Amino acid sequence: MNKLKRGKTNAKTVYQARELRRAPTPAEEKLWDALRNRRLADLKFRRQHPFGAYILDFFCVEHQLEVEVDGGIHLDYEQKMHDERRAEFLQENNIRIVRFTNEEIMTDLNSVLKKIVQATRPPSPNVSPALGEGAGGEVHSATPPLLMPGLHQERGLGGEVHSTTPPSPNAGLALGEGAGGEVQSATPPLLMPGLHQERGLGGEA
C-alpha cells in the first residue's frame, strides 16, 4: 500500500494514537468490533490512525474514508473550531468523512454500518431513459412515446393527446357521413347477375 495514502505524521501524533487505542469509548469499541478484520463488506479499516497532525477514528485507506465518532467533547466550542480546521485539512487531502454520534452507534448499529458501506460505493450510472419531475414530484419520461407509421398526434385543450389519422377503410370501400353523423358506405352494394333494385318513396333500395 502506498504510504502517502496513509498520510505523513509525526512521533507525537503516533504516540497519542496509541494512547487512544488503549482507552476506547464504549461507542468506539462497539463500532470497532464490527469493522475489525474486514468484517464489514471486506473493507479494511485502521483504528485511531495518525494522519498529519490529526488522528482519524476509523480510516479506510482503500477508499480514503474516515468514520468519525462524535462524543460529548465535540459539542464544546473550542473543539468545534478544532474540528473545522481538521475537516478542511482532510478535504484538502481528498479524504471523505462520515460522522456518527455515540447514540447512533449504541442504539442503531445496523443503520450505521449500512451508511458506511454506501459511502464506499460510487453511485450507479443512470441507464434508464431521461426522466423529469412534475409539479407534484411525480416522475415522467422525457422521451416521447413511439408512434406507428402514418400516425400523427395533436393535443386537445386539456392537454390530452388525440390521433389525427383516420382509421383505414376497407380496400375499395369509400366512407361518407350521414346527416346524424353516422358513417355510411358511399359504394353501392354489389348485385347478383340479373338482379335489379328499385328505390321506394323514402329512397330505400
CATH number at residue 92: 3.40.960.10
Beta bridge partners of 132: 140
Residue 147 lies in a domain: no
d(CA 197, CA 191): 9
CB atoms within 10 A of CB 137: 6
pLDDT for the residue 122: 79
d(CA 92, CA 69): 21
Residue 198 lies in a domain: no
Residue 187 lies in a domain: no
Residue 164 lies in a domain: no
Residue 19 lies in a domain: yes
Residue 50 lies in a domain: yes
Domain count for the chain: 1
pTM, 2 dp: 0.57
| φ, ψ dihedrals at 78, nearest 5° | -60, -35
Residue 33 lies in a domain: yes
Question: What range does the domain containing 10 cover?
Answer: 3-119
pLDDT for the residue 129: 40
Residue 202 lies in a domain: no
The one-digit pLDDT tens for each residue of the chain (205 residues) are 445 467 789 999 999 999 999 999 999 999 999 999 999 999 999 999 999 999 999 999 999 999 999 876 556 778 788 888 999 999 999 999 999 999 999 999 999 999 999 999 977 665 444 444 444 444 444 444 444 445 445 555 555 555 554 544 444 444 454 555 555 544 444 444 444 445 544 555 5
* E strand intervals along the chain: 46-51, 54-60, 65-70, 96-101, 131-133, 139-141, 153-155, 161-163, 175-177, 183-185
pLDDT for the residue 192: 46
pLDDT for the residue 75: 62
